[in-house]
Amino acid sequence: MTDTESFLKTARQVVTDEARALGVLAEGLDERFADAVRLILQAKGRLIVSGIGKSGHIGHKIAATLASTGTPAYFVHPAEASHGDLGMVSKDDVVLAISNSGEAPELANLLAFTRRFGIPLIGLSSRPDSTLMKQADVHLLIPALGEACGYGMVPSISTTLTLAMGDALAIALMKYRDFKPEDFRAFHPGGKLGAQLSAVRDLMHGGDALPLVSADTPMSDALIEISQKGFGVVGVTDADGALVGIITDGDLRRHMDGLLNNTAAQVMTANPTTIAPDALAEEAVAIMNARKITSLFVVDPDRPGRAQGLLHIHDCLRVGLG
């Protein structure tokens, strides 16, 4: 067997073992998981996540996922808790303590603190008879299936199961709270994720920047509006101010002969594609790509047909979409 074959065999064995373990975890979920979700929902304070070593690393991620999906949560290092950080934990909080063995000595002071002040404790471990689970009010048990290394030395299957349990908690809580994409963006305003979740209203141009002319406007004036606003298009409105058409470069080329003798209504493309201000910018990009256009007028849903803004493909590219 070559080195490449050996490496791939090991990698596939690890992934297969972890995938099988996740199936066992899914089958074993029961009322105790629901009890943990209810306990967190009932809390007036926050969810405090704690763990040491690899469990601590996983705990950091779980706390971050919870916090970003609508469940106030943060990670407290158990060793730091023993040196003052216990003051960060209040009687209104719920504690999620993570330890695969359930015997991490660093958790002792935190566990004692929760018992002394009646703070609800959720234990996450693979050993139901461990100190952690004996103290916990609610038990989240992951199956004890060893580790992918075969020697029980390298946290791998256990950390994967712990992470999956944390994700399951976060998403169950998120769905119960009806946490929507627009809510998610409030916690992720930066980077690619923030861009994907941007609403059209966040990127569009409105007010005096909006290129609009009335249907009876001479094309000489319409061309000035296109030039001054700089988007390469102009919207055409009827007597009531409703958007009825759009004039683009293509329209100008099609009416080149005698262009200046026409009105905006005679040159425009009627019934242009529009989008609502609360739609995701990602949706707007998809529409522009599908229709091979570079801009969309944004129509106010509360005032049918009334143009509220204009979104150009460059606005989307500027924030990383497209």
> Which CATH number fits the domain that encloses residue 255?
3.10.580.10
28 and 160 housed in the same domain: yes
pLDDT digit string (tens) for 45-70? 999 999 999 999 999 999 999 988 88
Percent of the chain whose pLDDT exceeds 90: 65
Angle, CA of 60, 61 and 63, to the nearest 5°: 65
112 and 152 housed in the same domain: yes
Query: For the chain, how many structural domains are there in total?
Result: 2
Q: Are 265 and 215 in contact (CB under 8 A)?
A: yes
Provide the CATH number for the domain around residue 122. Answer: 3.40.50.10490
- The reported pLDDT for the residue numbered 195 is 57
Q: Are 305 and 299 in contact (CB under 8 A)?
A: yes
**Which neighbouring-strand residues pair with 49?**
75, 96
- The reported pLDDT for the residue numbered 314 is 86
Dist CA 312 CA 233 (whole Å): 10
Q: Are strands 243-247 and 234-237 parallel, antiparallel or unpaired?
A: antiparallel
pLDDT band for 186, please (50, 70, 90 cuts): low
pLDDT digit string (tens) for 64-100? 999 888 888 989 998 887 666 677 788 999 999 999 9
Domain end, chosen from 147, 179, 211, is at 179
Q: Nearest CA to 89 among 36, 42, 48, 49?
A: 48
Placement of tokens 């004890």 in the chain: 144
Q: Are strands 138-141 and 121-125 parallel, antiparallel or unpaired?
A: parallel
Q: Nearest CA to 60 among 145, 166, 150?
A: 166
Q: What is the mean pLDDT of residues 211-225?
A: 94
13 and 144 housed in the same domain: yes
Of 110 and 198, which is predicted with more confidence?
110
Residue 189 has pLDDT above 60, yes or no: no
Q: Which of 62-71, 113-122, 160-169 has the lowest mean pLDDT?
A: 62-71
- Note down the domain range covering 34: 3-179
- The reported pLDDT for the residue numbered 191 is 53
Q: What is the mean pLDDT of the chain?
A: 89
77 labeled binding residue: yes
The 3-class secondary structure across 204-270, one letter per residue, is CECHHHCCEEECCCEHHHHHHHHHHHCCCCEEEECCCCEEEEEECHHHHHHCCCCHHHCEHHHHCEE
H helix and E strand count, the chain = 15, 12
Contacts of 26 (CB under 8 A, 6+ apart): none
Q: Are 244 and 270 in contact (CB under 8 A)?
A: yes
Output the six-digit token pair for 188: 């992720």
> Is residue 189 situated within a structural domain?
no
Q: What is the mean pLDDT of residues 248-268?
A: 92
41 and 133 housed in the same domain: yes
Placement of tokens 């566990």 in the chain: 111
Q: What is the mean pLDDT of residues 253-259?
A: 91
158 and 234 housed in the same domain: no
169 and 27 housed in the same domain: yes
Q: Where are the beta strands (DSSP E) in the chain?
A: 47-51, 73-75, 94-98, 121-125, 138-141, 212-214, 234-237, 243-247, 269-270, 274-275, 295-299, 307-312
Of 283 and 133, which is predicted with more confidence?
133
Q: Are 49 and 150 in contact (CB under 8 A)?
A: no
Placement of tokens 């989008």 in the chain: 275
Residue 139 has pLDDT above 80, yes or no: yes
159 and 230 housed in the same domain: no
Q: Are strands 269-270 and 243-247 parallel, antiparallel or unpaired?
A: antiparallel
Q: What is the mean pLDDT of residues 263-267?
A: 94
- The reported pLDDT for the residue numbered 78 is 86
pLDDT band for 315, please (50, 70, 90 cuts): confident
124 and 229 housed in the same domain: no
- The reported pLDDT for the residue numbered 203 is 86
